[in-house]
Amino acid sequence: MTDEPEDRVGTEPPPEKGFIPSGEQGIWRSLLIPFLAFVTALTIGAIIIIVSDPDVLDAFGSARFFTEAGRAVADAYRGLFTGSLGSPIRIFDAVRSGDADLLVGAFRPISETVVQATPLIFAGLAVAIGFRAGLFNIGAEGQLNAGAITAAFVGFAIEGLPIAVHLPLAVIAGFVGGAVWGAIPGILKARTGAHEVIVTIMMNFIALRTLDYLLRGAVFQRPDRPDPISKMVEPSAELPGLLGSRLRIHAGIILALLAAYGVWWLLFRTTKGFELRTVGSNPDAARYAGMSVGRTYVVVMALAGGLAGLGGAGQVLGVTKFLTPGFASGIGFEAIALALLGRAHPAGVVGAAFLFGMLRAGSTQMQALTATPVDIIVVIQALIIAFIAAPALVRGLYRIRVKRELGGEIFTKGWSG
């Protein structure tokens, strides 16, 4: 039994509607819990770095312990941030000298962060739009792979088209592949009531195994290779690089940001988005208001699948240029976490995707510079999610009073469908 008044009267912040949430509470308010969750996760991560560093443990009990501990944590996090954002001094020097090699080196970390963030944005939107409609889309992983398969197929099977035709075709193929994959759980839920969590999980396995199977088949497998690897997509289907050929950042990020804006516009500015949010918040009221709950489920899942499929297309057309087993593994699952972190808001998803992109890009550098294993990043991500999913924990920790947190609600709502 919780202490709740029988009839709560008071003012709450208006529901967030702008692309950048604003109003009296402002953007800072909506960022507070995620930010504190991140800081807390880094703090606990620091403790784990300390206890997992043999040098620090050797120094335990001696005066050197604190300096050693400080060094270990500082080194690890310096690696993490310079690996994901670059070093300001190097960027400054490179820009001043104008030397191409220096510039590439200085901007590579940021480029890598963006490259990592791109598919996360797409997949995160796929999960977020599901949350908004009251659906727990665990299937971004499978939808992303389905989209990558169809995009890659169009990318290598058709030859001789100009880029202006071939590239859009391949991207659209990615969307369609993901949309079909996503629509199946939607249809099953609408028609039979099958829970989307179960079905999307199964669809993930099917997509991953289908990819494995195709990579061993004549249509996809590269003729001169014995291992499971697909043919290269045609250059006319590749997403062009944004900063030359030596940095991996590609046009997919532009598509991703457009998609985020498009999802926001759809959700908050259109009648279809109103229906979607109504179904998500209160399916009974949606039915009462004459909306078709089942059709909304199908459309939302198809759209979510399509967005994840675009993520897969971006990955294969912009980064890898070919498919391998598990070529994008984990993105769809990280997407669930970052959709929660971004509170199922498109702008929040973009922010969270960049944060996770940073962690992904920086972790390699961190491991190279220090003894800290990459796995610490997984721990930090998990901690962030734990704190986001339990905002009461963060609030208690920092003694802040927040009236209502959307994140936690979304998390629980997903299971009730």
| Secondary structure of 171-214 as H, E, C letters | HHHHHHHHHHHHHHHHHHHHHHCCCHHHHHHHHHHHHHHHHHHH
Q: How far is the CB of 5 from other proteins (least distance, A)?
A: 4
Q: Which among 85, 77, 81 is positioned nearest to 107, based on CA atoms? A: 85
By CB under 8 A, name the binding residues for other proteins.
1, 3-12, 14-15, 269-272, 274, 277-278, 281-282, 284-285, 287-291, 401, 403
Q: How far is the CB of 389 from other proteins (least distance, A)?
A: 19
Q: How far is the CB of 15 from other proteins (least distance, A)?
A: 6
Q: For residues 270 and 329, which CB has a smaller minimum distance to other proteins in the complex?
A: 270
Q: How far is the CB of 338 from other proteins (least distance, A)?
A: 22
Q: What count of other Cβ atoms lies within 10 Å of the Cβ of residue 77? A: 18
Q: For residues 224 and 284, which CB has a smaller minimum distance to other proteins in the complex?
A: 284
Which phi and psi (to 5°) does residue 4 adopt?
-130, 135
Which phi and psi (to 5°) does residue 250 adopt?
-135, 175
Q: How far is the CB of 262 from other proteins (least distance, A)?
A: 13
Which phi and psi (to 5°) does residue 141 adopt?
-60, -50
Q: For residues 248 and 272, which CB has a smaller minimum distance to other proteins in the complex?
A: 272
What are the tokens at 44?
């606990």
Helix (H) or strand (E) holding 23: none
Q: For residues 79 and 130, which CB has a smaller minimum distance to other proteins in the complex?
A: 130
Residue entry with tokens 């990615």? 174
Q: Which among 293, 335, 373 is positioned nearest to 204, based on CA atoms? A: 335
Q: For residues 17 and 225, which CB has a smaller minimum distance to other proteins in the complex?
A: 17
Crossing angle (nearest 10°) for helices 293-315 and 100-132: 170
Q: For residues 274 and 333, which CB has a smaller minimum distance to other proteins in the complex?
A: 274
Q: How far is the CB of 57 from other proteins (least distance, A)?
A: 45
